[in-house]
Structure 1
C-alpha cells in the first residue's frame, strides 16, 4: 500500500546516503535520485543505488549532469591522481583539508539539493533526505549543519511548498552512522564508497579508509570487499 507521505532522497549509493534514506523508509514513499556528473565511480555508484532502491522499494531516477565534470579540476572527475593519506591522518585537519581541495566538485551539493527541490515540488514531497554528516563537514562545508540550516531557510523563502531537508546524520561521525545503519537495518552491504571506481573498494582512498575505520570502531562486521 502506498504511504501517504512522500520524500525525495539524494542517493549516491554511498554509506551515508544509504543509511540516511533507510531512516525514513517505514514512514515515507521515497523517490531516490542519483547523479552522474562524470565521476570515476559513477558506474558502481549507480549499480549500488539501483540495488538499494530495489531492496527498499524506492522509485529510482538517474540524472545526467555532464557539464558539472567540466568545472573545476576535481580528481573525482578528471585525470588527476586521487589524493592518498595515511590512516593515522584521518583526523589531521590540515592533511584532510588539502585532500578535500583536490576532490572538491564546484557547487555539487547546492546543485543536487536544488534539483531535489524541483522533484519535491513536482511530486508533493514534504522532505528531501540527504546524507550530510559531521565527519564530512570537517572538510566539506556543504555537509555542515550551518549549510543544512541555511538551505532550509532558502526553501522557506523560495519554495512554494512546505518542504524541508532532513539530514539524520548531521551530528554523527562515520562510526555513529554505521551504528545507526545497523539499528534501522540499512542495507549497508550494498553501499559503495570508493573514489576509484573499481568493482571492489580499493581500500586505500580516503573514502575507503573512513569506511573501514567506521565499521571497525563501531564494532560491527564490515561486509565490504577491499582490494587492499
Structure 2
C-alpha cells in the first residue's frame, strides 16, 4: 500500500520504479502488483534480485509462511520479521542506480507506524543515510521519505483521494494467494482502512 501510494502521489517525478526480490514469502505477489501499477502509469519498472539476503540473513520473513507470527503489529510480536539492514542495502543500490541514470533522488515510503519495529525506517536512520549518499555521489543523490511522520491510515487517505485500487496491492507476510488476515501486517492493513474511514477491498482468508 505504501509504495504504491507514493508511486501515484509522485508519478510526475518518478523516472524508474524498483522492486527488490530478496526471497521474502510475499515477493512474487508484491512484484506482480508493482508491475500492474507501473504499467498503468507508464513508469519503467525493474526487478533487482537480492537472493544473497535469503541465503545469509536471519528473519522469519525469509523462512516460510509458518514462521510469520500472528497477532498485533507491535515490536514484541513483529521483531522476528526484521530483515537486518534491508532498507540500507536497498537504498544504497537505489543510490547507485540513480546516479547511473543521471537522477538525483531516491524515494522510500516508510511511515510512522514502522518506527518502533524497524530501525531502518526511522528518521534517525533516513537522515544520515541520505547525507552519506549525497556525500558519496557526484550527483549528490538524496533520499526523499515524505511519509516518515504520518500513519498508514494517512497514507490510505492519500491513496483514496488519488483513486488507487488497493485491491491490487499486497501486504501479507505469509505470502498466500489471499491475505491471511491474521498476521501483523494484515491486521495493520485492516486498521489503516478502518481509521481512514475507507472500505477495505482486500480479500482475506479468514
TM norm. shorter chain > 0.5: yes
Q: Which residue of 1 aligns with 2:144?
A: 166
Q: Is the 8 A contact 1:21 1:129 kept in 2?
A: no
Partner residue of 1:44 out of 29, 33, 44? 29
Distance 1:128 1:184 in 2: 22
CA–CA distance in 1 between the matches of 2:78 and 2:98?
A: 30
Q: TM-score, normalised by structure 2?
A: 0.93
Sort the Cα spacing of 1:151 and 1:186 in 2 relative to 1 into closer, same or farther, 3 A. Answer: farther
In the other structure, the counterpart of 2:19 is: 34
Residue 113 of structure 1: aligned partner: 91
**Gapped regions of structure 2 (runs ≥ 5):** none
2:188 equivalent to 1:188: no
Which string of whole-angstrom CA distances, capped at 9 and with x for unpartnered residues, describes residues 102-149 of structure 1?
111111101100010111001111221111111011211111111111
Listed as ranges, the gaps of 5+ residues in structure 1 are 1-14, 91-95
Query: How much has 1:99 moved relative to structure 2?
Result: 2.5
Relative to the length of structure 1, the TM-score reads 0.85
Q: Which string of whole-angstrom CA distances, capped at 9 and with x for unpartnered residues, describes residues 66-87 of structure 1?
A: 110123321111146111124x
Residue in structure 2 matching 1:57, options 37, 42, 66: 42
The Cα of 1:18 is off from its aligned counterpart by 0.9
Please, which of 78, 95, 98 is the counterpart of residue 100 of structure 1? 78
Match of 1:201 among 145, 155, 179: 179
1:85 — aligned with what?
A: 71
**SS of the residue 2:146 aligns to:** coil
The alpha-carbon deviation at position 213 of structure 1 amounts to: 0.5
Name the counterpart of 1:7: none
Alpha-carbon spacing, 1:128–1:185, altered in 2? closer, same or farther (3 Å)? farther
Query: Is 1:23–2:15 an aligned residue pair?
Result: no
Query: How far apart in 2 are the matches of 1:29 and 1:116?
Result: 13
Q: Shift in Å at residue 184 of structure 1?
A: 3.0
Equivalent of residue 155 in structure 2, options 167, 177, 191: 177
Deviation at 1:100, TM superposition (A): 2.9
Go from structure 1 to structure 2 and tell me whether the alpha carbon gap of 1:164 and 1:184 turns closer, same or farther (over 3 Å shift): farther
RMSD: 1.5
Aligned length: 205
User: In structure 2, do the counterparts of structure 1 residues 185 and 131 end up closer, same or farther at CA, with 3 Å as the change threshold?
Assistant: same
1:78–1:160: structure 2 CA closer, same or farther, 3 Å change rule? Answer: same
How far apart, CA to CA, are the structure 2 residues paired with 1:203 and 1:42?
18
